[in-house]
Amino acid sequence: MSVDQEVPALFREKISRRGYDAIAKCKHFVEEYCIPGDRIYLSQIREEKSERWKQTPEIVEKLKQKAKDAGLFNLFLSTHYKEGSGYTNLEYGLMAEYLGKSLIAPEVTNTNAPDTGNMELFARYGTPYQKKRWLGPLLRGEIRSAFLMTERGTSSSNALNIACSARKNDRGNYVINGLKWFASGAGDPRTAVWLVMCKTDDSASKPYRNHSVLVIDTKKALQSGRAKLVRPLSVFGYDDAPHGHFEISFDDYEVPSEDMENVLLTDEGKGFELIQSRLGPGRIHHCMRLIGVAEYALSRAAYRAKNRLIFGVPMFKRESFLTSYTQHKINIQKCRLLVLNAAYKIDISDPKSAREEIALAKIETPRTVVNVIDWAIQMFGAEGVSQDVELARSYAAARTLRIADGPDEAHLGQLARQYFKSENSTEFFKKLDQRITNLHKL
């Protein structure tokens, strides 16, 4: 089936010729290089504890070059950005579905979190220095970055809880104290810059202006000995080395004087605005990829079922297999429509206006996909939980997306408040009796 035909009818005319070409190229690149590359990647990851955070599997840089050569780099930066690749969010959404099928495809095409969100922030809010120093190398895939937001012991669904402090000392330099964790990507030896959400003010009168995002040079911070990679956190037993998810401590870390001029991303007190802006597209990028994760899991299950006999009958001929498979296909299609509808809404407006559409996609997609993968695991039996098919790894990654960027429950609660603001049953039912009376007289 050609890529054109795979695009749901509804979207076809909204995609440019250039968009179709890129989607088709993504598909080919993922199938030809990235999925095969996943196996090589995993075999190149060294297991020794001392080595896990000092490596970059060779296949990554090799394929990164291939992606650059093919023009498949930074696809996520939509037409909203001048540095962007010039694709719409809708177009990127269709590409991201393919990228989601491979573990390494996002990094290889420079579309992986948290770098994508960080690049968007730099592109939108960065000073010329920050753009040159950090955005450039990030866009070229030379360095990596981390976003230090979540803290241990507080609910990150309410950013007011962020307690990591950055206070100016008498030299006028920020001094950072606090403990961040689940800083994804912080384990990578190429990580050169951290964006750190800090409390720079305590004024009770303006709680939403108390936080700022600081741009921290990772190497300097670590060399100072006052910022530390405390430990990697595991996700269902995976440490995801060398990317990783780290606990990071700041113990009176003073930002060097020479960096103070460009230490703030936009103005002090704008932390909230920045993280709000950061989350929208990021959430939808995750969802786009998850559609691909789910389709790939189904594809694996289908292949298994075609080649596995259960009491003499191929598994794919069993009614229970067929109906579950089909129901999962339907469930994915429902999420796909939600995700692409949100992407399109961003395209014709902006992330803020698309808040409701993004929330729907964010709430539904991870849990749907988690169920798809869980079913695929079950179809594989014991092999399904093992390293041989890597479905369990997909499961773990998808499962965390029911938590990351706000748990399902928080989004549902927020959406409820939004819905009830515009709920107009009172208006209607209050008029009903009068209308019945009017009608009787007709």
If one asks whether residue 16 binds a copy of itself (CB under 8 A), the answer comes out as no
Q: Which positions from 85 through 144 interact with a copy of itself, judged by CB under 8 A?
A: none
Stretch that binds a copy of itself, among 79-87, 108-116, 215-223, 411-419 (CB under 8 A): 411-419
Spatial distance between the Cα atoms of 98 and 296, rounded to a whole number of angstroms? 9
Measured from the CB atom, the residue of 171 and 317 that comes closer to a copy of itself is: 317
Q: Which positions from 156 through 195 interact with a copy of itself, judged by CB under 8 A?
A: 156-158, 181-182
Measured from the CB atom, the residue of 43 and 203 that comes closer to a copy of itself is: 43
If one asks whether residue 45 binds a copy of itself (CB under 8 A), the answer comes out as no
Measured from the CB atom, the residue of 241 and 274 that comes closer to a copy of itself is: 241
List 68, 168, 226, 329, residue binding a copy of itself (CB under 8 A)? 329
Q: Which positions from 297 through 326 interact with a copy of itself, judged by CB under 8 A?
A: 299-300, 302-303, 306, 308-311, 316, 318-320, 322-323, 325-326
List 2, 17, 47, 421, residue binding a copy of itself (CB under 8 A)? 47
Please give the DSSP secondary-structure letter assigned to residue 132. Answer: I
Establish whether the linkage from the previous residue to 407 is cis, with ω within 30° of 0: no
CB of 425 to a copy of itself, least distance (A): 4
If one asks whether residue 146 binds a copy of itself (CB under 8 A), the answer comes out as no
| DSSP per-residue string spanning 350-375 | -TTTTHHHHHHHHHHHHHHHHHHHHH
If one asks whether residue 223 binds a copy of itself (CB under 8 A), the answer comes out as no
Stretch that binds a copy of itself, among 164-172, 251-259, 277-285, 429-437 (CB under 8 A): 429-437
The 3-state DSSP class for residue 11 equals helix
Give the angle 167-171-174 at the CA atoms, nearest 5°. Answer: 25
Give the angle 252-177-240 at the CA atoms, nearest 5°. Answer: 110
List 2, 9, 206, 421, residue binding a copy of itself (CB under 8 A)? 9
| DSSP per-residue string spanning 230-297 | EEEPPBTTB--TTT-EEEEEEEEEEPPGGGGGG-BSSSTT-HHHHHHHHHHHHHHHHHHHHHHHHHHH
Measured from the CB atom, the residue of 217 and 364 that comes closer to a copy of itself is: 364
Stretch that binds a copy of itself, among 67-75, 76-84, 277-285, 432-440 (CB under 8 A): 432-440
Closest CA to 163 of 199, 205, 209: 199
List 4, 21, 31, 61, residue binding a copy of itself (CB under 8 A)? 31
If one asks whether residue 441 binds a copy of itself (CB under 8 A), the answer comes out as no
List 10, 45, 163, 230, residue binding a copy of itself (CB under 8 A)? 10
**Residue 387, both tokens:** 């390293």
Please give the DSSP secondary-structure letter assigned to residue 205. Answer: T
List 24, 226, 238, 260, residue binding a copy of itself (CB under 8 A)? 238
Question: Could you tell me which residues come within 8 angstroms of residue 255 by beta carbon, excluding any fewer than 6 positions away?
Answer: 166, 173, 174, 175, 176, 214, 216, 263
Please give the DSSP secondary-structure letter assigned to residue 162. Answer: -
Stretch that binds a copy of itself, among 17-25, 216-224, 233-241, 248-256 (CB under 8 A): 233-241
List 70, 175, 233, 260, residue binding a copy of itself (CB under 8 A)? 233
CB of 173 to a copy of itself, least distance (A): 31
335 close to 366: Cβ distance less than 8 angstroms: no
CB of 5 to a copy of itself, least distance (A): 10
Helix 58-69 / helix 35-44 crossing angle, nearest 10 deg = 150
Report in angstroms the alpha-carbon separations of 248 from 150, 152, 171, 241: 10, 10, 25, 16
Task: Count the neighbouring beta carbons within 10 Å of the beta carbon of residue 251.
Answer: 14
- 40, with CB counted inside 10 A (0-12, 13-18, 19+), is middle
Alpha helix segments (H runs only) across 183-231: 218-224
Q: Which positions from 69 through 88 interact with a copy of itself, judged by CB under 8 A?
A: none
Question: Could you tell me which residues come within 8 angstroms of residue 57 by beta carbon, excluding any fewer than 6 positions away?
Answer: 40, 41, 44, 45, 242
Measured from the CB atom, the residue of 183 and 263 that comes closer to a copy of itself is: 183
CB of 137 to a copy of itself, least distance (A): 25
Spatial distance between the Cα atoms of 377 and 399, rounded to a whole number of angstroms? 14
List 364, 365, 369, 398, residue binding a copy of itself (CB under 8 A)? 364
Number of amino acids touching a copy of itself (CB under 8 A): 110
If one asks whether residue 243 binds a copy of itself (CB under 8 A), the answer comes out as no
List 45, 132, 236, 350, residue binding a copy of itself (CB under 8 A)? 236
